[in-house]
Amino acid sequence: MASRVPIWWDEAHAALLNDELLGPVVKEHGPAGIKSREDLFQTLVRSIVGQQISVTAADAIWGRLCAHLGEVTPHHVLATDQPSIASCGVTRPKASYIYGLAEDAERLMEQPWESMSDLEIQKHLVSFRGIGPWTAEMMLMFHFLRQDVFSLGDIGLIRGTQRLVPDAETKEQVGEIAERWRPYRTAAAWYLWRILDPVPVEY
């Protein structure tokens, strides 16, 4: 599937390369960065699969789900049933969320995205069962390629920042440190994740 890179990435990379805290991490991992798969439904389903489990476990379940569905589309989801989705290793609640998204796919995806603010997109997404603030923030980053998103609900970003600044003990303190990376906090998040796991996460 074709992927799209953000038009702001080169600027973000250059800016963060000069950051006193994050610069060495950026230099180590190079200029390649975040990409969008251009498929909102698939990206959302993949993020739901990955909620609260390890990247390795999520990848294994995702592989089984793709094999079962053939193609991760609303039509293919509705052509099966929730128990069959759950049999791929997805929990029953997650299977219910995925099926619900497929049933309401038109309302989910037919939106004037380009004219919507980050907050408007987030409010729309969290109106669906199974999509909380963290998942909406991952969509802003990995699908919509919004450049200044930083999820304080993501334990990886908390821990990554704490590796750089051990004194940052609370989410509030991490958020204050992240202010230094505006307006490129999405790219900063990408590199913070690399501190914990050199293999890039995909949605």
Domain-ending residue, one of 98, 120, 142: 142
For the chain, the C-alpha Rg in angstroms (whole number) is 17
Task: Please tell me whether residues 79 and 163 are part of one structural domain.
Answer: no
* Residue 89 in domain: yes
pLDDT at residue 51, as a whole number: 83
Task: Please tell me whether residues 49 and 131 are part of one structural domain.
Answer: yes
* Residue 135 in domain: yes
Q: Total domain count for the chain?
A: 2
Task: Please tell me whether residues 138 and 93 are part of one structural domain.
Answer: yes
* Residue 4 in domain: no
Task: Please tell me whether residues 64 and 105 are part of one structural domain.
Answer: yes
pLDDT at residue 60, as a whole number: 93
Task: Please tell me whether residues 109 and 173 are part of one structural domain.
Answer: no
Task: Please tell me whether residues 124 and 60 are part of one structural domain.
Answer: yes
Question: Tokens at residue 4, please?
Answer: 């799209």
Domain-ending residue, one of 142, 165, 182: 142
pLDDT at residue 55, as a whole number: 78
pLDDT at residue 41, as a whole number: 94
Task: Please tell me whether residues 66 and 109 are part of one structural domain.
Answer: yes
Q: How many CB atoms lie within 10 A of CB 112?
A: 7
Query: By residue range, what is the domain housing residue 77?
Result: 40-142
Question: Tokens at residue 31, please?
Answer: 């200029």
Task: Please tell me whether residues 189 and 100 are part of one structural domain.
Answer: no
pLDDT at residue 202, as a whole number: 65
pLDDT at residue 1, as a whole number: 46
CATH number at residue 126: 1.10.340.30
pLDDT digit string (tens) for the chain, length 203 residues: 456 889 999 999 999 999 999 999 999 999 988 988 778 999 999 989 988 888 788 899 999 999 999 999 999 999 999 999 999 999 999 999 999 999 999 999 999 999 999 999 999 999 999 999 999 999 999 999 999 999 999 999 999 999 999 999 999 999 999 999 999 999 999 999 999 877 666 66
pLDDT at residue 35, as a whole number: 87
Task: Please tell me whether residues 103 and 133 are part of one structural domain.
Answer: yes
Torsion of CA 74, 79, 82, 86, to 10 degrees: -90
Task: Please tell me whether residues 47 and 133 are part of one structural domain.
Answer: yes
Task: Please tell me whether residues 114 and 76 are part of one structural domain.
Answer: yes
